[in-house]
Structure 1
Amino acid sequence: MTAPDRSSHAPAVAGGAAPAGPAAPGGGTVPVFRRGEWYDSLDSAPLPGGGGWRLSLVPRALIAADARRSRAAPGPPPDHAQRLRIVRRALDLFDQGTLPIGSLGDQDAAGFRAAMASVAGLPEPLTEQWITLLRDSLPAGTPPPGPPATRTLVSLPANTFTCLVSVLDAVLTSETVWIRPSRREPLSAVRMVAALLAAGWPADRLACYSTVPELLPTLITLTDRQIIYGGDGIAAQLPELPTLTLHGPGRGCALVPADHDPQAAADWLTPLVAGNSGRFCKNVRTVLCAGDPAPVARALGARLDAIGIQPPDSAHPQAAIPDPVMAPRIAELAHRLIQPADEVVTTRPLLHRHGPLVFLAPTLIRLADPGTPDAPHPLVGRELPFPFAAVLRAGPALADAVQQRSLFVHTMPGGPSPDQGVDA
């Protein structure tokens, strides 16, 4: 007799119902959602931070079995008007609702914010900012052209939960949605799953699979459309498919003309560098100056030094690095990339400790030698998970090369357009 495929995935609660009582704020095992129920896995991995959180992992065999089964999902999917209502209601519940999440129990709004602080290092003001951004990014209400995708995969990043907008877009445009949460921050994904279910999205048209990285190609082959977030390492592993959309490194850069007031330039640059705790792909990593970069560097460095870390800054709240091993490694990498002749313009130490919390302070480096278009300085375009930028003088050739590698090119009002270059 063949053993049932749930042998390593016990339902979180019989019949899929959530246990009574609030979700524990101090940790627990983050479940997966498959076949219309929450499950805890015997295979799990610890999450960053000291909160005692673990993440259930799904093996390849169960994903393949679910794919075969879900092709025959009963009943028609919701129409577009119903989907819009579901998405809008889900956003309200994600923000303020009390939601059952399997064995974690009922998670209220305060519990979600506490979990974000524990696992992702997010201060509450930053969580609130991102919920607002998620609402503002809600896809338009116009029905998409053509038939919906049969099954869409959304593989999420760890840096921000605002990328959940891709899940909402998939709900509007797909018959079935599979979500692969980040292994470092899965809690926002499972809360969105719970919100969608509570808002009326059919349980048999939704799955949330936490997996080891090696199973991402399997998820891709079992889906009809794929939305993947990740860095260079993920991008190098992905096949070239017309159905796959990759949201990779942004390598944001900013162009500062020679005749601009450095104080005005610094005012403009500060939110581009430090906003959203430097975790967005559109954050500026490289400041390209047509003239002498020193005045802009001094003005911007002073503003970055003035950003409060604890308590959170009112304009630019900064996130902690929840993994106590990762923070020193990131700091060590940054120091390795700084060349002997470069100037560290900001004055605070890179590692910034407040009790048990470890932060990486906003940092600005003025490059002595920016390199060439073919061999730029190693900090040009480098993305680190906190506000960290390089400022340099760039001629037309180097400026053009940096812009070609950037997905986000920011220009000052009244400055040159990206295709003109900073010296044009």
Structure 2
Amino acid sequence: MTDLIQLDVLGPAGPYRSRNRATVADVSGRPVAELSLAPTVYVDRAMAALRRATPLPLDERVAAIAHAGQLFATSTINGQTVAEYEHAVSRVGGIPIQVVRAATATAMRRTEQLYNNLQHARPWGAVGDWRDPLTHAGRAVWSRRGEVFAVHAAGNHPGTHTLWPEALALGYRVAVRPSRREPFTPHRLVTALRMAGFGDDHVMLLPTDHAAAESLLRGADLAYGSDEVIRQYADDPLVLPLNPGRSKILLTAETDWPKHLDTIVDSISHHGGTGCVNATAVLVEGDPAPVAEAIADRLALLPNLPPEDEKAVLPVQASSVARALEKFVLDKATGARALLGGAGFVEELGDGSAVLRPVVHQLERPDDPRAGVELPFPCLWVAPWSREAGIVPLRNTLVLGVHTKDERLISALVDEPSIANVYVGAHPTYWTDTGIPHDGHLAHFLMRTKGFIRG
């Protein structure tokens, strides 16, 4: 066990290697790393240190985050080269290596553009600092809602860690509780941020057990994430839960859907289908069978490969996890028409791991609740849709890809509060750009406006 990668707690006095450690295994069950776990008393002291710390000036924060992104994507950190880090994430998370590499590049790009992204989130009439000359005449000032921000990180994709650095840029001190499923990315990013100029008491990595996680949450002013602890506080206005995306595609009757088949299939399978922005349901005005069959034919061609293979495009999990998912889906799909994966979709790789192959089922009704079942691989539900059904089956959607010429329908979808993003035309559901919110701007949760005037 001495050759395992050591992922220390990154606390207020630097790295800390605890006696209580969790073994991090790859998809075959082979131990790869040891993750130190911070006890509750350590977490309490760490959160107090974050609260005492004074933020760096804005210009220094923004420059340090951009520098950290470059270090993250190009440097040896914690003894790991970029290639070694990406290989570890691929093997442990079961994510295709090309997906991990793309996430690395995205991390650098987003940290470079972070300041501009925040300006898109700031209310147009508000200034970012009370010292702005405009405040002599009275202005709204964009201000933090607190001082300490806790992140309970998801482990499904390394890209989830490109959002929370915005809190650092806004002057929060940040504690990150990494997922044991994939702790390499947050450990590397927190280390890079410290290398770039943030103090140990400004950003921390605090891996914990369940009890200490509660302490981390209580010690923060605001928190967000997607783990079990966060879900227990989902009704707390100071906690922002990251819910399943349940992203969808709608094809109305006038749509020449074969023309858009590439976009549809890409929305389902891009990045291995692991993201909340991947489409999990396609609703079709008219007969959904031809659409379902065409999608299934395309997805059936994807290869079975270990995640570190250059040509891998599908996620891989430990065989036991994959078989549990298989049973869950097959039980859930009872009575639906199976076009792909109906007899099973787990492909063993012979080393204790298995590929999660695509699954396509056709449903009979647009309001079938199974259309909202989201899983960490390309698992698609295709259903009919009608004008009479309206927007009800399209609610609770992170990204809705819409192929229609009906502007009244588009307006209704944009006005629907439970649909976070609407992409009309040939844009995949995973598309994003600087200034485009994910599920609203995170800054809208972190900040508020205050009226301010001075003489």
Shorter-chain TM band: 0.7 to 0.9
User: What's 2:428 paired with?
Assistant: none
User: What's 2:180 paired with?
Assistant: 183
User: What's 2:107 paired with?
Assistant: 134
How big is the shift at 1:111? 1.5
One-letter amino acid of the structure 2 residue matched with residue 72 of structure 1: R
Residues 1:63 and 2:56 aligned together? no
User: What's 1:353 paired with?
Assistant: 348
8 Å contact kept, 2:214–2:229: no
Call closer, same or farther: CA 1:332–1:123 in 2, change over 3 Å.
same
How big is the shift at 1:133? 2.8
Alpha-carbon distance between aligned partners in 2 of 1:414 and 1:396, rounded to the nearest angstrom: 14
Alpha-carbon distance between aligned partners in 1 of 2:84 and 2:299, rounded to the nearest angstrom: 31
How big is the shift at 1:324? 3.2
8 Å contact kept, 2:306–2:316: no
| Counterpart mapping for 1:9-158 below 5 A | 27-49=4-26, 50-52=29-31, 53-73=33-53, 76-100=54-78, 106-138=79-111, 139-141=114-116, 142=119, 145-147=142-144, 149-158=146-155
User: What's 2:410 paired with?
Assistant: 417
User: What's 1:386 paired with?
Assistant: 377
Alpha-carbon distance between aligned partners in 2 of 1:309 and 1:418, rounded to the nearest angstrom: 42
Call closer, same or farther: CA 1:119–1:315 in 2, change over 3 Å.
closer
Query: Which residues of structure 2 form unaligned runs of 5+?
Result: 120-127, 130-141, 417-455
User: What's 1:319 paired with?
Assistant: 315
How big is the shift at 1:298? 1.2
8 Å contact kept, 1:154–1:228: yes
Give the alignment's TM-score, normalised by structure 2: 0.77
Aligned pair count reads 382
Among 359, 363, 367, the alignment partner of 1:363 is 359
Alpha-carbon distance between aligned partners in 1 of 2:257 and 2:382, rounded to the nearest angstrom: 12
Alpha-carbon distance between aligned partners in 2 of 1:94 and 1:30, rounded to the nearest angstrom: 16
Alpha-carbon distance between aligned partners in 2 of 1:267 and 1:128, rounded to the nearest angstrom: 23
Call closer, same or farther: CA 1:413–1:216 in 2, change over 3 Å.
farther
How big is the shift at 1:81? 1.2
8 Å contact kept, 2:322–2:354: yes
User: What's 2:285 paired with?
Assistant: 290
8 Å contact kept, 2:293–2:339: no
Residues 1:407 and 2:382 aligned together? no
Alpha-carbon distance between aligned partners in 1 of 2:312 and 2:288, rounded to the nearest angstrom: 24
Query: Which residues of structure 1 form unaligned runs of 5+?
Result: 1-23, 101-105
Alpha-carbon distance between aligned partners in 1 of 2:255 and 2:394, rounded to the nearest angstrom: 20
Alpha-carbon distance between aligned partners in 2 of 1:111 and 1:360, rounded to the nearest angstrom: 24
Alpha-carbon distance between aligned partners in 2 of 1:211 and 1:197, rounded to the nearest angstrom: 20
Percentage of identical aligned residues? 22
One-letter amino acid of the structure 2 residue matched with residue 66 of structure 1: A
Residues 1:272 and 2:272 aligned together? no
Among 209, 223, 248, the alignment partner of 1:212 is 209
Alpha-carbon distance between aligned partners in 2 of 1:184 and 1:410, rounded to the nearest angstrom: 30
Please give the root-mean-square deviation of Cα atoms over the aligned residues, in Å: 2.7
Residues 1:333 and 2:333 aligned together? no
One-letter amino acid of the structure 1 residue matched with residue 202 of structure 2: R
User: What's 2:251 paired with?
Assistant: 256
8 Å contact kept, 1:364–1:389: yes
Call closer, same or farther: CA 1:414–1:128 in 2, change over 3 Å.
farther
How big is the shift at 1:60? 1.6
Alpha-carbon distance between aligned partners in 1 of 2:145 and 2:234, rounded to the nearest angstrom: 22
DSSP 3-state at the match of 1:296: helix
How big is the shift at 1:223? 0.7
Alpha-carbon distance between aligned partners in 1 of 2:104 and 2:389, rounded to the nearest angstrom: 38
One-letter amino acid of the structure 2 residue matched with residue 258 of structure 1: A
Structure of greater relative contact order (alpha carbons < 8 Å, 6+ residues apart): 2
Among 226, 231, 236, the alignment partner of 1:229 is 226
Please list the CA deviations of residues 316-342 of structure 1 after superposition, one character each: whole Å capped at 9, or x if unmatched: 822221x33211111111111112352
Please list the CA deviations of residues 66-117 of structure 1 after superposition, one character each: whole Å capped at 9, or x if unmatched: 23344333xx4321111111111111111110113xxxxx111121012112
